[in-house]
Structure 1
């Protein structure tokens, strides 16, 4: 069975990552892993750091890791805006591990609430990257 396509644009802070049709979009939201198909009800939701999957009309799949952002779905069109978006090939495991270690250390230090939230976000991004690369962080 052929699934109906919808327009999808994925924007990272520094580039357009994807701008084409898709038949399924899967992102991490505060409610868990969420899938969007054609004719989905209009929605705006937060996107959490983690895996983002795009199934294309030819049934191929694109998997990336993304950072914080939003997803908007309306009138058979989805727009995902995230701070980072990287493929397996673009991801540097060593840098992700170093970022995770730095964020973990910052969380142990006395910080303002704003600094603490920024450290939490950095740690979540680094953890998502490490999990996407399949590396055990412990």
Structure 2
């Protein structure tokens, strides 16, 4: 086991997205992004909707679009736990655009504070999915 890697697990509510060794990971957090390398100090941090990128021990660069959750860094192990995690190439752009429009419409209507926050979260997720899918399409 290489000393410049760490154990990485990315979990969504319905599946294990990734489990293996990684050399780095970049997470979307409330005030931007945070990068984690091997032997990072222990911490727990909130994760916001956006793109997680990481490099595997084999040198493969991987990305996934996540919803809100948190990451735990303990003893050279990183565990990311979110409601959803998906590969950019698996995103249905039409459905993501429809979800974005629904969320925007809900935000225009009067609602309770809880409904407002749910709509804001739905909009953030739809926008991060569209962004990741568009970047992938532009690369290909």
State the TM-score, normalized to the length of structure 2. 0.92
Root mean square deviation of aligned Cα: 1.3
Q: How many pairs were matched up?
A: 134
Q: Is the 8 A contact 1:96 1:130 kept in 2?
A: yes
Give secondary structure in 1 for the equivalent of 2:90. coil
Is residue 77 of structure 1 aligned with residue 77 of structure 2? yes
Q: Is the 8 A contact 1:3 1:57 kept in 2?
A: no
Residue pairs, 1:6-17, within 5 angstroms: 6-17=6-17
Could you say which residue in structure 2 is the equivalent of 1:39? 39
TM score, norm. by length of structure 1: 0.93
* Residue pair 1:3, 1:23 contacting (<8 A) in 2 also: no
Show structure 1 runs of 4+ deviating over 3 A.
Answer: none
Deviation for aligned residue 1:72: 0.5
Change (3 A) 1:73 1:56: same
More helix by share: 2
**For structure 1, which segment, 31-40 or 97-106, has the greater mean C-alpha deviation from structure 2 after superposition?**
31-40
Deviations 1:90-110 (A, max 9, x none): 110001000000000000000
Contact 1:46 1:71 in 2 (8 A): yes
- How far is the alpha carbon of 1:3 from its aligned partner? 7.2
Partner of 1:53, secondary structure, is: strand
1:60 Cα deviation after fit: 1.1
Please give the per-residue CA displacement for 1:17-58, whole angstroms capped at 9, x wherever unaligned.
011110101110012111110010111010011110110112
Asked if structure 1 preserves the Cα contact closer than 8 Å seen for 2:17 and 2:85, the reply is: yes
For structure 2, the 5+ residue unaligned runs are: 136-140
Q: Displacement of 1:89 after TM fit? A: 2.2
CA distance in 1 between counterparts of 2:3 and 2:86 reads 26
